Each structure stands twice: as structure tokens, then as C-alpha cells.
Amino acid sequence: MDEKVRLLENINFHQLAAQHPSLDQFFVGSQYNFDTHEGLIELAQVILLEYFQLKVQLDKTRLCPRIPNRLKYLRLVGSLVEQFKLGDSPLILDIGTGHTCIYPLLGSRLTSWRFIGTDIDERSLECAKKVLEENNVSSERIQLKLVRSGDDPFMDIENCDVVMTNPPFYDETGIKQNKPEKPVLVGKPTELATEGGESQFIINMINHSVKYPGRNTVYSSLVGKYNSLEPVVGKLKELNITNYGLSEFSNKTKRWIVFWTFNKNRPSDNIRMIKRSTFNPEKHEIFIPLKNKINLVDFLSSIQRTTIERENEVIVFKTKGIVWSRKFRRTNGTNFLKEKGLGSIFRITELETKIKIHWCYGDDRAVFESLLGLITRKTQQSSGEPL
């Protein structure tokens, strides 16, 4: 998928127009004009055909999908599938799949994933069904489902691995205030606006998701406006959902993706943090500077009621609690014996001048912070000094 993203980021529009003369009319001088709905429609159809061998006739009265951005969202979903260990053939729920079911359509070309595309517009699903038939995509790969506005989107889909959606950016007021120098937005009302705008749409998703804390589903949404992140992240924090992340990408404009889950796997920070943002979650990966060289394997092995494994240069450290604390020793581990499950898992890497600790599984951050303190003290103490 990375290769396809790079191709779409570096399109030679003159070469593309030479192969597809229907694009010629949309050039202004030497530049392709992205400011007309017709030009965007034609370009999207050509990209789908040229790069994905998909024949799609877009409805000119509906919102035009920007293919590069759709592909970047799918790429992030691929990272989520990998880091949350969701298997080779995960089931992806696409809320508001639209008249082309563009995310499932692209995903079916590039992956082995399965999709369910839902929409509140019956006509959109009829068009989507025709697109799938014309491109020989079976219902085993992509299912389409009509839903009612306001219903719980997760109620009847228990085995869903990832949820993705591209909600309307605006409420009705936002559309009316669209800047006059910008191209006119073309699309059906349900594609362009939703009550409360995109932030309220995502907050509604969050409120529905907390009904299913036992599921491993990873929920996600595209975010079109940076100021929508504040109420969305605020809701996640209000509900004490700590396993969340933010991603950012840009083409002509910046877009963001927010994701959250009750899955205990903790992904790497490189897919869940954006630059210079107060909305970022707390880190899952911390680097500890090495003041004094220590034998980390021997030190961790000496901690009773924990296990360690080696994966090449990485130490995998497992514990069911803060078993190195004085409190634990005073109670003789009474509560420890009652705990079930994997507890907390850390991937620890010794580098030249520092130690990297990745909290990769668990739901108790206190264990992570206590382990950080323990290793920090050990690396900073003088030889022979008691811990």
C-alpha cells in the first residue's frame, strides 16, 4: 500500500492526460485545475482505472472521493491491524460507505480484508452494489447494509475488528458559511452535513463504543478540522479511554485520524502521536538515558514472579503487577495470586546510550510508570549501592 501512496503523491498529470485525454479540458495552462467538481470527478475515475484497474462511474451530484486521502486512511488501518494483532483477514466496518463504497473497494484490491459498508441512504447502496458487480467483487468480500440514522452502528456487528468512517465535516450552519472563494461543495445533504458537525458525530461513536468494553474492536474516524480534535479527545479523556491515538496526513489540505480501543495491546507511538499537539495521548514508549551500564537481563531476571524472553535484541518482560514494590512485599503478593490474564507486557531494547521501554500490552499505566522508575534508579545508581 505504501507504494500506491507514493505513486499517487507523485502523479505526472501531463503523462496521465496523454493516456487519458478526458483530463485535457481541466488544465489551466500547465496546471491541473482542482477547483471544479467535474475536474475532480474525472480525475478520480481515471486514477481508479489507471492505478487500481477499477471501472467506476461517479455520480456528479454526489461527493467526489479524493483517492489519495482515502488510500492514506487505509494505510493507517493496515498499521492498526498489524499492531493490534487482528489477523490476516480482519473484518472492517465502513460507516457511511457512500455511492462508491470507496474504502471497501480500494481495500478489496490491495488487501485480503473483509468489509461491511453501511449507509443511511438507500440510493447510495444501490449505486455501490452496481459498482461492486461491475468490478466482480463478491459479497463475501464486501457486504452492504442499510441502517437508520441515529441507531447504534455497532449493535449487530460483534466480530468487527476495525471501524472506519469519513463523517460529514459540517453542520448545516457550516455549509452556509462556506467561504465564497472556495469551490462549491457538491453532494447530497447527508454527505455534507450532520447534526452538530463531525465532532458530534465522532462523540456519538465514542458513546456507543463504551457499551462494548469487552470487544477488541479498534474504532477510528477521519477528522477534517483541527478544532474538532479538542471536543473529541476531551470525550475520550472524560470516559477514561486511555488507549487512543492521533494520526495526521496532508495532500492539498491537512486531515487527521483519531482512533481508540478497549483492546489491551498498546501500539507504537509512531502511529498514535502527531507533531506539536496538546491533544496527543500519553506515551507508550519511553527512553531512559544510561548513566551507568548494567546487565539488564540479569537485573530483570532477578525480579520474582515475572518472566522474560528474548526476541533477538529485544527483551520481552511480563508481569501481573508491581511485584517489585514494598507494598507487594508487605502483603506477600496476596492480590497477585488472584489476578488472571497476561497482566502487562513490555518490550525493552538496550541501545548505545539509552534503554527503550515500550508498554505493548496491559491496562494499568501505573505498572508502566513504576517499571520506568525502577529501571531509571538502577541505571543511575553507583556500583554496589542498594536499590
Has 119 been labeled as part of a binding site?
yes
CA-to-CA distance for 36 and 38, rounded, in angstroms?
5
Question: DSSP letters along 314-343, please?
Answer: EEEEEESS-TTSHHHHHHTTTTGGG--S--
Question: DSSP letters along 114-156, please?
Answer: EEEEEES-HHHHHHHHHHHHHTT--TTTEEEEE--TTS-TTTT
- 356-383 burial code (b ≥16 CB/10 A, e <16): ebbbbbbebeebbebbbebbbebbeeee
> Which has the closest alpha carbon to 165: 177, 140, 147, 185?
147
CA-to-CA distance for 132 and 152, rounded, in angstroms?
26
Has 70 been labeled as part of a binding site?
yes
Residues in the chain: 387
> Which has the closest alpha carbon to 1: 163, 84, 109?
109
Cell of 225: 478540522
CA-to-CA distance for 157 and 353, rounded, in angstroms?
48
Has 152 been labeled as part of a binding site?
no
Instruction: State the binding site.
Output: 70, 96, 119, 166
Instruction: State the binding site for S-adenosyl-L-methionine.
Output: 70, 96, 119, 166
